[in-house]
């Protein structure tokens, strides 16, 4: 049983020791493996191609978040299991997600908010592109095709490594749902300097060798 207060998480004792938790870890991420998906996207040019097919009806002078960055934000979010737009209220500030959206991590420059992403998707629905694969309970029929498009793009990013670089490994026949848990879900501490963004991945990640192998095959030298 977990008891939660504003400043502290209190868990069951470990014999004589108290077990506590705090949301004060700083620039940490639980999905550092999404960098592999970023390399897949760069190799395939997937989100760039999708963005090029979508007309942006907004006034160019007022645009702060371009359509490619918002599309990337949503597709990678779905790929990592964050299907709900409200998840981006926190993810928009995460350094890793800013890197995935091809933006230099900056706490003063968050990515698009859930409201902005929603408005962008609503504009697309009006153009009959219109929302997420298994969320078919939308009030408007035109919402479903765009959700399906986003989910399909996320599927491609997860499926490509299995087909292209995981042959002969223990994940060669893994389903996409399994790949999403095994590869992207890596804890890491993110540090940012003028010249580098560094991910300090967990030393206890069980698929360390496989992850290194996949990264070496995906990233061009």
Residue 58 neighbours by CB distance under 10 Å:
15
Among residues 89, 154, 82, which one has the least CA distance to residue 116? 89
Partner residues linked to 9 by β-bridges: 4, 21
Radius of gyration of the chain from Cα atoms?
19
DSSP annotation of 132: B
Residue 135 neighbours by CB distance under 10 Å:
14
CA 75 – CA 79 distance, rounded (Å): 6
Low-confidence ranges of the chain (pLDDT < 70): 1-6, 57-59, 123-144, 221
Classified as helix, coil or strand, 95 is: helix
Angle at 185 between CA 201 and CA 107, to 5 degrees: 65
Domain ranges of the chain: 3-218
CA 14 – CA 6 distance, rounded (Å): 22
**pTM recorded for the entire structure:** 0.84
CA 2 – CA 41 distance, rounded (Å): 39
| Residue linked to tokens 């160019």 | 60
Q: What is the pLDDT of residue 4?
A: 46
Burial of 133 (0-12, 13-18, 19+ CB in 10 A): middle
CA 85 – CA 117 distance, rounded (Å): 7
Q: Taking a C-beta distance cutoff of 8 angstroms, is the pair 127, 145 a contact?
A: no
**pLDDT for 45-67, tens place per residue?**
999 999 988 877 666 777 788 88
Q: What is the pLDDT of residue 53?
A: 85
Length of the chain: 221
Evaluated on CA atoms 109, 113, 116, 121, the torsion sign reads positive
Torsion, Cα of 104, 211, 29, 95 (10° steps): 0
């Amino acid at each position: 049983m977990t008891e939660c207060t504003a400043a502290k998480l209190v868990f069951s004792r470990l014999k004589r020791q108290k077990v506590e938790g705090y949301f004060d870890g700083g620039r940490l991420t639980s999905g550092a493996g999404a960098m592999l998906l970023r390399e897949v996207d760069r190799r395939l040019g997937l989100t760039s191609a999708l963005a090029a097919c979508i007309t942006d009806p907004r006034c160019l002078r007022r645009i702060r978040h371009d359509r490619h960055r918002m599309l990337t934000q949503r597709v990678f979010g779905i790929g990592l299991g964050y299907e709900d737009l409200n998840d981006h209220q926190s993810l928009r500030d995460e350094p890793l997600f800013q890197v995935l959206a091809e933006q230099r991590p900056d706490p003063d420059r968050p990515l698009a908010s859930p409201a902005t992403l929603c408005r962008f998707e609503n504009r697309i629905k009006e153009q009959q592109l219109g929302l997420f694969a298994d969320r078919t309970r939308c009030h408007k029929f035109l919402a479903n095709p765009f959700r399906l498009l986003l989910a399909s793009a996320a599927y491609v990013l997860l499926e490509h490594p299995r087909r292209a670089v995981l042959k002969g490994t223990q994940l060669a026949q893994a389903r996409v749902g399994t790949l999403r848990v095994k590869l992207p879900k890596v804890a890491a501490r993110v540090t940012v300097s003028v010249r580098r963004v560094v991910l300090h991945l967990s030393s206890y990640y069980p698929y360390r060798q496989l992850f290194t192998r996949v990264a070496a095959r995906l990233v061009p030298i």
